[in-house]
Structure 1
């Protein structure tokens, strides 16, 4: 009899402990009374919205602030990639010519860029530029006058005048990184003429991609040795001496003052592919 009472007491005690643990666990593990799922996103507590995504979609909206929110920017970025890929997919072999928008038509550098655009087009290769004035206009002009494909990839800037008149296939981008992707994806060689921050940005991003093997090797010609001399001395001197680049990295580009040599370098990979 005593054994039965002891067993009952032990069972009651065990049950009480289990209920106590369950209550403590519930209090410890359930700080929020409600869970809301918005697609793959889980929301609880103060993060739960007052209305569903469908309700917000169907609400009459007078404010246009949503146009400037990051999710909408993602869609705009996506649309720029889609438009760029769609427009350039059938351009064929192409060479990009970079350079300053500030070069005037009566300057020797403009004439040289125009000549290079002509020579590229005569090889049945498309010319791609940033679509603006200066060096870009000159290269597009040379390609267009030679009956070639003259591509301009413009960028939305306050001081730019839009796509130049010598472009026969043009796109305008909001975002620099989308535009630069198009240059690299659809070009098989590059001529870099004198230019400022924009030209340097494009040049170094290209060289970085080649250096790190993110893209296949692409020939690069720097046109205008006097202009590039100081930069090259710095790269081969302090930058290399401090171990910031390897000894072979300066060989990723060729410096020349000859438009014909610059074009030969930039179109070299395309010509070799054609021969094979």
Structure 2
């Protein structure tokens, strides 16, 4: 049985509009009539399509990316500084361990890690973000993409990286760090080592986590072990490789146990 609409009602795709909600023109009319305001470009339904397009473009660009590690750190760090040189070194060593390097694509620590990887012959990736102030993509990228939306970009970092290395940075760096820790803590992502490099910079945060959060019971007793603190690039890379090796061995054992259980039930 079909229902009839009153003259004051109109179906618009899956929606039913009635009374004053009925627009004076149809969707086709508004699409084909180019004379008029462009406010629709900034309406939420159009934004949904734009967001969808960013996900599709990002997934398409990165789908065949080999195993990778994302490196985060401040865009304000200058070339020649100790932190910058540390970024260059970790970028090179990650490539030597068989990883592509993914950064935010900008200057500072991001540029350093991309440079280290690129100069060593590795695959260097930058995922930039549209900002109100100028921040161009650095010159050491094999693959680069600039996003409109932070949450789409952050999804790409997590989906296409197998670990995070976090060097000294500001609010953006802290945002990426704590999102990664939260995702690991809640088991939204697995086999995901997180390394903080720069003990002098990170130790006050580490002490606060242990001395305040843990002491107050706002985190679990094992939560401080979700990340590793070091100054040594070799130790950082070894921690990542060992973490992935242990995870792969555990997965093999789980599959073997599952196969054994199925055979026993057969």
Give TM class, smaller chain: 0.7 to 0.9
Instruction: Answer yes or no: is 1:169 the counterpart of 2:143.
Output: yes
Alignment partners' CA distance in 2, 1:74 and 1:108? 43
Q: Which residue of 2 aligns with 1:127?
A: 101
In the TM superposition, what is the alpha-carbon distance from 1:161 to its structure 2 partner? 2.5
Change (3 A) 1:80 1:270: same
Q: Which residue of 2 aligns with 1:110?
A: 84
In the TM superposition, what is the alpha-carbon distance from 1:123 to its structure 2 partner? 2.1
Change (3 A) 1:173 1:256: same
Q: CA RMSD in A?
A: 1.7
Alignment partners' CA distance in 2, 1:265 and 1:73? 41
Unmatched runs of 5 consecutive residues or more in structure 2 = 1-5, 253-266
Larger Rg: 1
In the TM superposition, what is the alpha-carbon distance from 1:147 to its structure 2 partner? 0.7
Alignment partners' CA distance in 1, 2:215 and 2:14? 51
Alignment partners' CA distance in 2, 1:267 and 1:159? 37
Unmatched runs of 5 consecutive residues or more in structure 1 = 1-31
Alignment partners' CA distance in 1, 2:246 and 2:120? 23
Instruction: Answer yes or no: is 1:189 the counterpart of 2:163.
Output: yes
In the TM superposition, what is the alpha-carbon distance from 1:228 to its structure 2 partner? 0.8
Q: What is the TM-score when the length of structure 1 is the normalising length?
A: 0.84
In the TM superposition, what is the alpha-carbon distance from 1:274 to its structure 2 partner? 7.8
Q: How many residue pairs were aligned?
A: 245
- 1:199-253: CA deviations, max 9, x gaps? 0000001111111111114101100111111111111122122221111111000
Q: What is the TM-score when the length of structure 2 is the normalising length?
A: 0.87
Change (3 A) 1:118 1:54: same
Q: Which residue of 2 aligns with 1:262?
A: 236
SS in 2 for 1:265: helix
In the TM superposition, what is the alpha-carbon distance from 1:124 to its structure 2 partner? 2.4
